[in-house]
Structure 1
Amino acid sequence: MEGGARERLLGDEEEVEEGLGRRLWKENKKLWVVAGPSIFTRFSTFGVTVISQAFVGHIGSSELAAYAVVSTVLMRFANGILLGMASALETLCGQSYGAKQYHMLGIYLQRSWIVLCSCAFLLTPVFIFTTPLLKLIGQEESIAEMAGTVAHWFIPVFFSFVWGFTLQMYLQAQSKNVIITYLAVATLTLHIFLAWFMVTKLNLGLAGVMGSMILAMWIPVLGQLAFVFFGGCPETWTGFSFSAFLDLWAIVKLSLSSGVMLCLELWYNTILVLLTGYMKNAEVAIDALSICLNINGWEMMISVGFLSAAGVRVANELGAGSAKAAKFAIVNVVITSFVIGFVLFLFFLIFRGRLAYIFTDDAEVAGAVADLSPLLAFSILLNSVQPVISGVAIGAGWQGMVAFVNIGCYYLIGLPLGVVLGYAFDMHVKGIWIGMLIGTCIQTIVLIYITWRTDWDQQVLIAKDRLSKWYMDKSRKSNDARGSA
């Protein structure tokens, strides 16, 4: 214990002696080892969805509107739950790796698989009964019918995320997510070719696009599993263990608080699409909004990459017992993401609606996109900070607290304000979006304040207590593994 305290003290003295430039260089090396592959991987994965939408958009307007509803509403709903619950793994793996409890990462991964698989089976009926559910909430009948067909194709895509989310978080906690990048690039290239071939040459239409998408989502999962099982992570994966079934309720509770936190964020934009569906000329409005949200989604992949990096850096440093390094990592990642977001903000202000023709041939839809472009640009700027602060919360294990912040800012302020501006003041989609942007801005300010006022030395003690509570002796784990073999 004394030796560890002395090492931390010497480490702090070395930080003081180092210049700012040297500290920035070292921190950015650690940051980009995680952020670079994470951003590139998310670009590729998100690219599969966007490329699918581009092909669907050239099949027909009804198909595009249905795809937009399913991918933006249904998949955000389901993925919000899965991604949120998987973020508990990000907290535990990151802090355990920082504390050098390497063998615990494999146990946490298996526990997360059990929890998320159970959750996925419970959510499957939502995809099966999409058409009656959409009709029940008042969606246009033609859109609801087509959306039901699209939703059935999305079921295997949805189940791929159970494994994809957990494996990504497990690997990036140890800075071994480069393998995910290679697999994602390969499958994105394959998807472009297969979607083009099936739609253009074989005339398979929607079935061709969705069949190609299913392959593109499952190939990286199988590749990551092979990497983990066959020696890619020798310190953290030593085989399946009965220990994965122990303390599941503790994992479920953290997963639920994580799920609520991220669901409230991801569903926020989903509500924007749902409210748009009740307006006049809903098909054009939904098409235009879905294009804007997809463009925004490209930029969000950068921010979500930094979210992952922020979570890993904060969790690793808290697990290692260094409050000072955790604070420095937070400042560095927020500034880096904001600078990139500001450049993209200017870019989208300049190009406005011209980017819409990538997704559609309809001039009316492209004009509607041009009208929404200033709001899109401001969303991009705001989203360069907000997800990164959420990543800090995940790294520190604040998911429960942030969930309450999200309820207040998003659903008690932003959403009601958006409804008033959109309907009472007849501002339509722009009014809804403005109100919801205000909610996001308030949420970001609140989280920045909380982060600034946090006692990070106390957070180190909290992380240590969490890890010691769920720690399992390595010899016991090895015996369990042999028993399960």
Structure 2
Amino acid sequence: MASDPQQGLSTNSETPQKQTDAPVVTGTLKHAPTETTPLIPHDSISESEVAESQDEKTSKVAMFWEEVRMIPLYALPVFCTHILDYSLVFISVVSIGHLSTKSLAAISLGSMTANVTGLSILQGLTSALDTMLPSAWTSPQPNLVGLWAQRMSVLLTVALVPIFCIWFSAERILLSLKQDPEVAHLAGIYLRWLSMGLPAYAFNCVSRRYFQSQGLFTVPTRIIFVVAPVNALLNYTLVWGPESIRLGFIGAPIASAISNCLVSLISIGYGVYFVPRTAWQPLSRRMFTNLGLLTKLGISGIGQSASEWWAWELVALAASFFGPVALASQSVLLVSEATTFQIPFSLSVATAIRVGNLLGKQQAKRAGVSAYASIFVSLVLSCVTSFLYYHFRNSWAYMFNNDPEVVTLVASVIPILAFFQVVDGNAAVTSGILRARGKQTIGALLNISAYYIIGLPIGVWLAFRHGLGLHGLWIGLTISLIYCAIVGTWLCVKTDWDYEVLKVVQRLKEDNTKRADEELGPEN
């Protein structure tokens, strides 16, 4: 807690008396005090105030190292959850990839379309819960966690309608974009079958945050730990299994849809039977209120997260113009970066929850210390992954491909990727801090300007006009993340954490006012 200035005055009540009893000094002695006539400046700091200031600094240092130890404990189960979740997509690509080249191209095109037009939208919308749920859980009204989750479910239900329309029209859309007819046809089939699990995917985005905001980080990990091997078995059985049940190409999206539904069902069961109902709010008309705030935060969240997803898809498209070696090398680099990015992304989620929890507790000073500790942890871990990339740069590509040209090109780009890790980690964590503060709009503007005004134009200019090829694209991406890291860190340092607490209190007050108005009824 911040020191009370009145406390310093009260403990030093003797000081003014000593000054009053001192001999009156006149003449030049007023400007040349001796040992017997000390003059204490009007704004001097008392001994107890100095001690109190030192105690506060010591307290901040102790809090900092406590947060440094705590943040990784939050992030580890989140990391495991996202790695296992990523395996649901990875297994589908592997199972279909061995059918034919056309099938592999179709699922790659279908997955890209799904990411751009659906999954990134849902993830962006639900990022609004990173602002609302953690602070609600530690507030005097933890049942608001359930209420905000219900409101987000209503919002996602509306958002699913246009996504379904796009996915069911995917073949015509892809053909209009001059894609190969057979690949476009298979991609359209993939999306139609995958859409069966889309409502479950949306629900899972909400339920995961519902558990994590309460500090139940291991619950989503346990659930996905059970479903991941089931997904692998379903993919093998439905794509390559006995002829009587083998479905071939459509088996993979069906397996993904079933897996998402299993995650939803297990989450509901876990929430009903194994988690206290403290955070739950009974279903009522209140779930249809205050949707404007969620929509505003959610749309900004789309701009913050989806803009990054789309930028990477554009980089992959640009890499395809340099031939199969560059495209294969970009695939190796992209998969590698996507895997190691789960570390700072997990820290980002953990930071958003931790800072949000502290804001809900009205612990402004500790929330700020936690934010700084997260940036420090991210720097340390990013330096480790950076070192590993650089150290194994000459052999890294052999994990994916044995083509000497691919191995050589990947090895030459990895030093850029190694430095990229440091700024990417910082940008991810500061993005989480912005979400905890409800600053998705600033995060969206930061990402859009970083990628589409700075990074991508510079990367394309270096790649095509200066002949740097794949190196130029990655230099552009690195520049965009340097910009995000610098601005994001500056925004964190300049944060008024006391004001952030006041925002949470005001939000709770407004929700209570609307609840009271609803209970009074329109007749009053």
TM-score, reference length from structure 2: 0.80
* Structure 1 portions without partners, runs of 5+: 481-485
Q: Is 1:101 the counterpart of 2:132 in the alignment?
A: no
SS in 1 for 2:188: helix
Q: Is 1:43 the counterpart of 2:86 in the alignment?
A: no
- Partners of 1:58 and 1:361 within 8 A in 2: no
Write the letter of the residue equivalent to 2:279: T
Greater mean alpha carbon deviation, residues 84-93 or residues 186-195:
186-195
- Partners of 2:200 and 2:261 within 8 A in 1: yes
Residue 329 of structure 1 deviates from its aligned partner by 0.6
Q: Aligned residue for 1:236?
A: 279
Q: Is 1:177 the counterpart of 2:217 in the alignment?
A: yes
Residue 447 of structure 1 deviates from its aligned partner by 1.0
Residue 443 of structure 1 deviates from its aligned partner by 1.6
- Cα displacement string for residues 244-278 of structure 1 (whole angstroms, at most 9, x for unaligned residues): 0122223222222222222222222122123334x
Residue 377 of structure 1 deviates from its aligned partner by 3.1
Looking at structure 2, the residues matched to 200 and 330 of structure 1 have their Cα atoms a distance apart, in angstroms, of: 48
- Partners of 2:149 and 2:210 within 8 A in 1: yes
Residue 391 of structure 1 deviates from its aligned partner by 0.3
Looking at structure 1, the residues matched to 59 and 289 of structure 2 have their Cα atoms a distance apart, in angstroms, of: 46
Residue 400 of structure 1 deviates from its aligned partner by 1.2
Looking at structure 2, the residues matched to 141 and 424 of structure 1 have their Cα atoms a distance apart, in angstroms, of: 32
Q: Is 1:306 the counterpart of 2:385 in the alignment?
A: no
Q: Is 1:207 the counterpart of 2:247 in the alignment?
A: no
Write the letter of the residue equivalent to 1:244: M
Q: Aligned residue for 1:483?
A: none
Aligned counterpart in structure 2 of residue 274 of structure 1, from 296, 314, 317 = 317
Aligned counterpart in structure 2 of residue 440 of structure 1, from 468, 481, 486 = 481
- Partners of 2:303 and 2:445 within 8 A in 1: no
Greater mean alpha carbon deviation, residues 400-409 or residues 37-46:
400-409
Looking at structure 1, the residues matched to 459 and 195 of structure 2 have their Cα atoms a distance apart, in angstroms, of: 32
Residue 321 of structure 1 deviates from its aligned partner by 1.6
Residue 414 of structure 1 deviates from its aligned partner by 1.1
- Cα displacement string for residues 97-121 of structure 1 (whole angstroms, at most 9, x for unaligned residues): 2223211111101000010121122
Q: Aligned residue for 1:413?
A: 454
Residue 67 of structure 1 deviates from its aligned partner by 2.5
More helix by percentage? 1
Write the letter of the residue equivalent to 2:390: L
Write the letter of the residue equivalent to 2:135: Q
Q: Is 1:133 the counterpart of 2:176 in the alignment?
A: no
CA gap of 1:432–1:137, structure 2 versus 1, over 3 A, is farther
Q: Is 1:316 the counterpart of 2:357 in the alignment?
A: yes
Residue 471 of structure 1 deviates from its aligned partner by 3.4
Q: Is 1:293 the counterpart of 2:310 in the alignment?
A: no
Q: Aligned residue for 1:154?
A: 194
Residue 149 of structure 1 deviates from its aligned partner by 3.1
Aligned counterpart in structure 2 of residue 124 of structure 1, from 144, 164, 167 = 164
- Partners of 1:50 and 1:294 within 8 A in 2: no
Q: Aligned residue for 1:460?
A: 501
SS in 1 for 2:279: coil
Looking at structure 2, the residues matched to 421 and 170 of structure 1 have their Cα atoms a distance apart, in angstroms, of: 44
RMSD: 3.2
- Partners of 2:147 and 2:281 within 8 A in 1: no
Q: Is 1:377 the counterpart of 2:377 in the alignment?
A: no
CA gap of 1:227–1:367, structure 2 versus 1, over 3 A, is same
Looking at structure 1, the residues matched to 401 and 101 of structure 2 have their Cα atoms a distance apart, in angstroms, of: 9
Q: Aligned residue for 1:342?
A: 383
Greater mean alpha carbon deviation, residues 199-208 or residues 161-170:
199-208
SS in 1 for 2:99: coil
- Say which structure, 1 or 2, has more relative contact order (CA 8 Å, 6+ apart): 1
Looking at structure 2, the residues matched to 130 and 330 of structure 1 have their Cα atoms a distance apart, in angstroms, of: 42
* Structure 2 portions without partners, runs of 5+: 8-51
Looking at structure 2, the residues matched to 333 and 456 of structure 1 have their Cα atoms a distance apart, in angstroms, of: 16
Q: Is 1:221 the counterpart of 2:264 in the alignment?
A: yes
Q: Percent identity, aligned pairs only?
A: 24
Q: Aligned residue for 2:32?
A: none
Q: Is 1:255 the counterpart of 2:295 in the alignment?
A: no
Write the letter of the residue equivalent to 2:254: G
Residue 237 of structure 1 deviates from its aligned partner by 1.0
Residue 364 of structure 1 deviates from its aligned partner by 6.3
CA gap of 1:215–1:56, structure 2 versus 1, over 3 A, is same
- Partners of 2:344 and 2:378 within 8 A in 1: yes
Looking at structure 1, the residues matched to 177 and 158 of structure 2 have their Cα atoms a distance apart, in angstroms, of: 27
Looking at structure 1, the residues matched to 447 and 316 of structure 2 have their Cα atoms a distance apart, in angstroms, of: 19
Looking at structure 1, the residues matched to 109 and 290 of structure 2 have their Cα atoms a distance apart, in angstroms, of: 38
Q: Which has the larger radius of gyration?
A: 2
Residue 285 of structure 1 deviates from its aligned partner by 4.5
Q: Aligned residue for 2:441?
A: 400
CA gap of 1:413–1:392, structure 2 versus 1, over 3 A, is same
- Partners of 1:90 and 1:169 within 8 A in 2: yes
CA gap of 1:479–1:13, structure 2 versus 1, over 3 A, is farther
SS in 2 for 1:471: helix
CA gap of 1:354–1:400, structure 2 versus 1, over 3 A, is same
Report the number of matched residues.
Answer: 470
- Partners of 1:264 and 1:407 within 8 A in 2: yes
Q: Is 1:425 the counterpart of 2:466 in the alignment?
A: yes
CA gap of 1:53–1:318, structure 2 versus 1, over 3 A, is same
Residue 402 of structure 1 deviates from its aligned partner by 2.0
CA gap of 1:366–1:207, structure 2 versus 1, over 3 A, is farther
Write the letter of the residue equivalent to 2:472: G
Aligned pairs for 1:64-79 (under 5 A) are 64-79=104-119
CA gap of 1:181–1:90, structure 2 versus 1, over 3 A, is same
- Partners of 2:63 and 2:366 within 8 A in 1: no
Looking at structure 2, the residues matched to 149 and 288 of structure 1 have their Cα atoms a distance apart, in angstroms, of: 28
Looking at structure 1, the residues matched to 248 and 396 of structure 2 have their Cα atoms a distance apart, in angstroms, of: 24
- Partners of 1:296 and 1:379 within 8 A in 2: no
